[in-house]
């Protein structure tokens, strides 16, 4: 795969190739922990991928290994910039903008695949949880730390995690703050597959290319259907948005618009009332 740089950022790398976008958190000196700027850049890259009609799958990963040889997907919020009201941005304003990023990953029509090598910890763990699929390297380590460092994610990080691994396991993960290896993650349904670390990106590309061979409208309707089951009115809005998109493609819907533009009464009687 010949990745092309899609835009320049400070904290992330953003590439595109063959229908895929790849977003790489690039702060290996802090195990790819994110500061508000990292998240702002990720939101910009994900928003760009969402708008790009050539992009059908996004890969999310972490740069590595670090100079000490260790890998990380993401170690969560950067504790060095954590202030009283959140993580302090360049402008001095405290933020928790990772929640906006979680919603973008969840609601964008294209599937997002997390490629996890090394640590996926804290808010970094929640990032892979909200991705559609996760492929883990054999050196991946998963866990939440919130109750150890005075934090928690009671949104997708708790309720959606419980949908993935069940209530008992999700409570264990949050209450005990243990670390789990790739095999344990596979056994609890937290990841889709485990591969040797050197094969991680190739495996992600293969999964992405298999998805890209499928009907994009079918995939986007399925993503919103899976979300609708958990996401209440916001989930129904997403699913219904797809129904409206498909309806716009019918002659019946176009008759309504055409009649308005031609200042005539629409003739909806001509369309079949399907059983």
> Which residue lies nearer to ligand 2NE by CB, 119 or 207?
119
Measured from the CB atom, the residue of 32 and 242 that comes closer to ligand 2NE is 32
Question: Strands 72-74 and 82-83, how do they pair?
Answer: unpaired
* Minimum distance, C-beta of residue 36 to ligand 2NE, in the bound complex (Å): 11
| Closest distance of CB 255 from ligand 2NE, Å | 49
Candidate list 119, 160, 174, 207; residue touching ligand 2NE; CB under 6 A: 119
CB atoms within 10 A of CB 142: 26
Q: Sort 10 into a burial class: Cβ within 10 Å, 0-12 / 13-18 / 19+.
A: exposed
Least distance from ligand 2NE to the Cβ atom of residue 95, Å: 10
Sorted by sequence, the CB contacts under 8 Å of residue 251 that are 6+ apart come out as 271
Q: Which is nearer to ligand 2NE, 97 or 110 (CB)?
A: 97
Rule CB under 6 A: choose which of 122, 133, 173, 185 binds ligand 2NE. 122
Q: Closest separation between CB of residue 119 and ligand 2NE, Å?
A: 4
Enumerate residues 54-113 that contact ligand 2NE by CB under 6 A: 70, 75-80, 96, 98
Smallest CA-to-CA distance from 34 within 93, 73, 75, 63 is with: 75
| Residues between 21 and 50 with contacts to ligand 2NE, criterion CB under 6 A | 30-31, 33
Q: Describe the crossing of helices 123-130 and 98-107 by its angle, rounded to 10 degrees.
A: 10
Nearer to ligand 2NE, 153 or 203 (CB): 153
| C-alpha dihedral sign at 40, 94, 120, 233 | negative
In a 10 Å sphere around its CB, with 0-12 CB exposed, 13-18 middle and 19+ buried, how is residue 41 labelled? buried
Q: Residue 153 Cβ, how far from ligand 2NE at the closest point, in Å?
A: 4
Per DSSP (E only), the strands in 72-149 are 72-74, 82-83, 86-88, 94-95, 112-116, 119-121, 133-137, 141-143
Rule CB under 6 A: which of 135-154 touch ligand 2NE? 145-146, 149, 151-153
Instruction: Give the nearer residue to ligand 2NE in terms of CB position, either 30 or 212.
Output: 30
CA angle 40, 116, 38 (to 5 degrees): 15
Coil vs helix vs strand at 112: strand
Shortest Cβ 201–ligand 2NE spacing (Å): 21
Smallest Cα–Cα separation from 46: which of 4, 1, 9? Answer: 9
The binder of ligand 2NE chosen from 36, 64, 123, 235 (CB under 6 A): 123
Min. distance of Cβ 20 from ligand 2NE in angstroms?
A: 27
Q: What does the binding site for ligand 2NE look like in residue numbers (CB under 6 A)?
A: 30-31, 33, 70, 75-80, 96, 98, 119, 121-123, 145-146, 149, 151-153
């Amino acid at each position: 795969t010949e990745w092309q740089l899609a835009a320049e950022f400070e904290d992330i790398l953003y590439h595109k190739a063959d229908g895929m976008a790849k977003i790489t958190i690039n702060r290996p000196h802090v195990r790819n922990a994110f500061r508000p700027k990292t998240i702002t850049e990720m939101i910009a890259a994900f928003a760009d991928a969402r708008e790009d009609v050539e992009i059908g799958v996004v890969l999310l990963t972490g740069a590595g290994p670090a100079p000490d040889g260790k890998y990380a997907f993401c170690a969560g919020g950067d504790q060095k910039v954590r202030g009283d009201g959140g993580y302090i941005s360049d402008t001095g304003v405290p933020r928790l903008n990772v929640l906006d990023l979680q919603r973008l990953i969840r609601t964008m029509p294209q599937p997002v695949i997390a490629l996890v090598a090394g640590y996926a910890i804290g808010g970094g763990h929640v990032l892979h949880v909200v991705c559609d699929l996760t492929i883990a390297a054999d050196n991946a380590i998963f866990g939440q730390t919130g109750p150890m460092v005075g934090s928690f994610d009671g949104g997708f990080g708790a309720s959606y995690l419980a949908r993935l691994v069940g209530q008992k396991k999700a409570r264990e993960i949050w209450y005990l703050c243990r670390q789990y290896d790739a095999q344990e993650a596979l056994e609890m349904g937290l990841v889709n597959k485990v591969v040797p670390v050197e094969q991680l990106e190739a495996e992600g590309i293969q999964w992405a290319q298999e998805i890209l061979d499928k009907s994009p409208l079918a995939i986007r309707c399925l993503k919103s259907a899976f979300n609708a089951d958990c996401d209440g009115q916001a989930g129904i809005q997403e699913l219904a948005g797809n129904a409206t998109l498909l309806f716009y493609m019918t002659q019946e819907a176009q008759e309504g618009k055409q009649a308005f533009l031609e200042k005539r009464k629409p003739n909806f009687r001509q369309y079949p009332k399907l059983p």
